[in-house]
Amino acid sequence: MLPTTLTHDFIKGLPKAELHLHLEGTLEPELKLALAERNRVDIGQTTIEEVKRSYQFDSLSSFLQVYYPAMNVLQREEDFYQLAMAYLHKAREHNIRYVELFFDPQAHTSRGVAFETVINGYHWAVRESGALGVETALVMCFLRDMSAQSAADTLEQALAHRDKILGVGLDSDENGNPPGKFREVFHKARQAGLHLTMHCDIDQHNSIGNIRQALLDIQVDRLDHGTNIVEDPELVAYVRDRGIGLTCCPVSNGFVGDMKGNEILQLLRAGVKVTVNSDDPAYFQSYVSDDMFALAQNYPMTPAEMVQLARNSFDASWLSDDRKAAYQQEITDYVAGY
Ligand code: ADE
Ligand code: ZN
């Protein structure tokens, strides 16, 4: 039975998918320090408190300035494997049954780490994830503040590993880097049979214009964040009618403004396949159940709406219809037995 009030316990046990999770954003301070020592990389901090104190950001660009330098500790295939496995243990704890894992190869190849080191390390964890009870897939993101040519070169490298990648995305600094900059590389990715998603971060310069470009021009299958879509009812109808998912991240949003809870609930109630995700959980100190609970604590919503968010997380995924149906049944069973 549905509980009368939403508890963290109910939300944590609810079977769910995570569709907006940056593997590099799961680097917890403990692992960061351990890898820094193992690989003899000076990150400027030596204690957990110092690392946490460096997490001062109030905008996407100030977050990215902390985020990228920390990746220097990731050097070898085992490091990428260990990072992903640490997250997958967390995922199991939060009853995340399926996760589409974003990763940023250019953040590593640009500092001399081979593409193969990155993809093979992450794929090693993907191969082992089933034994943990978490189904996984990799989604490769291009860094939008790098050139379109760099993205094209990265896609070329990735196509040699086509079987390891389910889709492509676009992240990093949106300012001055609209979706159209990557039209050709996304077209090529589509031709290769990859699914397409793309960040349209909250409250960007020309957010709604970028959302329109991503949907109508690039024809993405999903939008990451994208909550500014509420400014345009025609685009809301467009995503609702096509079942295009929006992967929202309330706690991450809260770091740079408000959680966008009103927008998320407005979209949910309009029938849009909106989902709740953690984005970069180690940096925002919030895993997906915490994000869902934070939403419920700060905005009035019903237990049935929370269950709908979990249902949307599978529906908006790139799983087969059979797998989606199996997970929907898990949700039905969980609620019936609660
Ligand atoms: N990289 C990691 N998290 C991101 C976000 N929320 N937006 C853009 N790029 C990111
Ligand atoms: Zn993100």
Q: Convert the pLDDT of each residue in 218-268 to its tens digit.
A: 999 999 999 999 999 999 999 999 999 999 999 999 998 899 999 999 999
Distance 224 CA to ligand 2 centre (A): 7
List the residue whose alpha carbon is closest to atom 10 of ligand 1. 172
**Dihedral sign (CA 287, 289, 294, 299):** positive
Q: How far is the CA of 308 from the centre of ligand 1 (A)?
A: 25
pTM of the predicted model, to two decimals? 0.98
- Please report the DSSP string for 130-177 in residue order: GGGT-EEEEEEEEETTS-HHHHHHHHHHHHTTGGG--EEEEES--TT-
Q: Is the pLDDT of residue 55 over 90?
A: no
Whether the CB-CB separation of 153 and 185 falls below 8 Å is answered with: no
Residues 127-151 have a mean pLDDT of: 98
Q: Is 187 annotated as a binding residue?
A: no
Whether pLDDT at 187 is above 90: yes
Which ligand number lies closest to the CA of residue 223?
Answer: 2
As to burial, measured by CB atoms within 10 angstroms (0-12 exposed, 13-18 middle, 19+ buried), residue 182 is: buried
Q: Tell me the C-alpha distance between 48 and 134, whole Å.
A: 29
Q: How far is the CA of 326 from the centre of ligand 1 (A)?
A: 31
123 carries a ligand binding annotation: no
Is 280 assigned a ligand-binding role in the annotation? yes
For residue 40, is pLDDT > 90? yes
Specify the 3-state DSSP secondary structure of 334.
Answer: helix
User: Residue 208: pLDDT above 90?
Assistant: yes
For residue 257, the model assigns a pLDDT of: 87
What is the pLDDT averaged over residues 199-223?
98
φ, ψ for residue 119, nearest 5 deg: -65, -40
User: Residues for the chain: how many in total?
Assistant: 338
How far is Cα 20 from Cα 275, in angstroms, rounded to an integer?
Answer: 9
Ligand 1 mutation target, pool 171, 198, 203, most atoms within 8 A of CB:
171
Tokens describing residue 121: 């390390």
Average pLDDT rounded to a whole number, residues 210-220: 98
Give the integer Cα–Cα distance in Å for 119 and 112.
Answer: 14
- Among all chains, which residue has been given the structure tokens 């609930």? 265
Q: What distance in angstroms lies between residue 334's CA and the mean position of ligand 1's atoms? A: 32
CB 318 within 8 A of CB 166: yes
Q: What is the mean pLDDT of residues 181-202?
A: 98
> Mean pLDDT throughout 319-334?
98
161 annotated as a binding-site residue: no
Which tokens is 264 given?
């998320």
Kindly report the number of other CB atoms within 10 A of residue 326's CB atom.
Answer: 14
Q: Given this model, what pLDDT does residue 56 score?
A: 85
Nearest to 305 by CA among 265, 333, 246, 254: 265
CATH homologous superfamily of 8-337 equals: Metal-dependent hydrolases (3.20.20.140)
For the residues 134-153, what does the mean pLDDT come to?
Answer: 98
Cα-based angle 290, 295, 298 (whole degrees, multiple of 5): 120
Structure confidence at residue 100 (pLDDT): 99
Q: Is the CB of 199 under 6 A from ligand 1?
A: yes
What pLDDT, on the 0 to 100 scale, is given for residue 42?
93
280 close to ligand 1 (CB < 6 Angstrom):
yes
pLDDT value of residue 112: 98
Q: Ligand 1 within 6 A of 201 CB?
A: yes
Quick one: which ligand is closest to 253's CA? 1
Cα–Cα distance for residue pair 219/222, rounded to 1 Å: 9
Residue 314: Cβ-neighbour burial (10 angstroms; 0-12, 13-18, 19+) = buried
Residue whose pair of structure tokens reads 């896609």 in the numeric block: 155
Best residue among 63, 141, 143, 253 to mutate for probing ligand 1's pocket (most ligand atoms within 8 Å of CB) is 63
Mean pLDDT of 98-104: 99
pLDDT of 216 above 90: yes
> What pLDDT digit, counting tens, does each position of 261-304 carry?
999 999 999 999 999 999 999 999 999 999 999 999 999 999 99
